[in-house]
Homo-oligomer: A and B are copies of this chain.
Amino acid sequence: MNPELLLSRIRVVLCRPSHPGNIGAAARAMKTMGLSNLYLVAPKQFPDPEADTRATGAVDVLQAAKITETLSEALVGTVFAVALSARQRDLGPSIGAPRETVARLLQEAGEGDVALVFGNETMGLTNDEIFHCQAAVTIPTNPDFSSLNLGSAVQVLCYECRMSAFAEKPPVVAQGVTPFTSPVATNDEVEGFFGHLESVMITTGFYNPLQPGRLMPKIRRLFGRVRLEKDEVNILRGVLASTQVKTGYGRKE
């Protein structure tokens, strides 16, 4: 299924958020990842200028947010809901890791609307709210400081949603090395560079071919890792030639 369509089926539900700034940050986090359905369950203060400020260009997400009294109302029409929870609740759905849980969420989104449910900044979700969800997820944190900001938690899970939705797609950015216009150097061009470098090192006394040691193998190993391009061979040989002009020695090859 089309990744954008899958992402459009994910609701982000914030239960009883205390700080309007966090609502704004959540809206911005959602929109950067291509999500747009924000539900607010009994927000303490909304709308609010601080929410707009933190949302920056995602004010449209705030304006379209649906406000409900209970989590049940926010989940009407969904086929699957995942609760964010820092700890396993007694009898609650077992807690999964983000990547696997989000993969499941996206799979379910193939069937209909789904939800990511976040609790209040200090209290989290109530047991009753968690029981309304079919799965739970925790974001692994430093055990000595697990105080993940609400907006950050939304960001991480929305990021995982986007990564998962687009997983089958080829990467946007080509892997490998930045091409500039130059093609890869041929073997003989690279050998010409090694010969040139060797002659310069002999001239300067850095390299004694009668006592070669492992110098040339080390240099070959170094440049062998690079996959030199034609232009780069020209640059390197240009540098070498310029030192020869200065020393007054002709090129020996």
Name A's B-contacting residues (CB within 8 A).
Answer: 25, 28-29, 31-34, 56-58, 88-99, 138-142, 145-149, 151-152, 155-156, 159, 162-163, 166, 171-178, 180, 197, 200-201, 203-206, 215, 218-219, 221-223, 225-228, 231-232, 235-236, 238-239, 242-243, 245-247
The reply to whether B178 and A93 contact each other, CB–CB distance below 8 Å, is yes
CB-CB nearest 3 A-B residue pairs: A206-B242, A204-B242, A34-B142
> A173 is contacted by which of B97, B163, B176 (Cβ under 8 Å)?
B97
The reply to whether B226 and A232 contact each other, CB–CB distance below 8 Å, is no
The reply to whether A166 and B178 contact each other, CB–CB distance below 8 Å, is no
Complex interface: chain B residues within 8 A of A147 (CB): 28, 32, 56-57
**5 A-B contacts (beta carbon < 8 Å):** A94-B176, A97-B171, A156-B159, A205-B246, A206-B239
Supplied contacts A34-B142, A96-B175, A139-B159, 14 more A-B pairs, CB within 8 Å: A25-B149, A28-B147, A31-B145, A56-B147, A94-B173, A140-B172, A141-B162, A151-B152, A152-B155, A156-B159, A205-B242, A222-B236, A226-B226, A243-B247
The reply to whether B221 and A177 contact each other, CB–CB distance below 8 Å, is yes
Complex interface: chain B residues within 8 A of A159 (CB): 139, 156, 159
The reply to whether A235 and B215 contact each other, CB–CB distance below 8 Å, is yes
Complex interface: chain B residues within 8 A of A239 (CB): 197, 200-201, 204, 206
Complex interface: chain B residues within 8 A of A197 (CB): 239
The reply to whether A32 and B235 contact each other, CB–CB distance below 8 Å, is no
Known: A88-B178, A176-B94. A204 touches B29 (CB 8 A): no
> A228 is contacted by which of B93, B94, B140, B222 (Cβ under 8 Å)?
B222
The reply to whether A95 and B145 contact each other, CB–CB distance below 8 Å, is no
Complex interface: chain B residues within 8 A of A178 (CB): 88-94, 221
The reply to whether A141 and B221 contact each other, CB–CB distance below 8 Å, is no
> A28 is contacted by which of B93, B149, B206 (Cβ under 8 Å)?
B149
CA distance A238 to B146 in the complex (A): 42
> A235 is contacted by which of B92, B93, B203, B218 (Cβ under 8 Å)?
B218
The reply to whether A225 and B222 contact each other, CB–CB distance below 8 Å, is no
Q: How far is the CB of A51 from chain B (nearest CB, A)?
A: 14
CA distance A142 to B31 in the complex (A): 7
Complex interface: chain B residues within 8 A of A56 (CB): 147
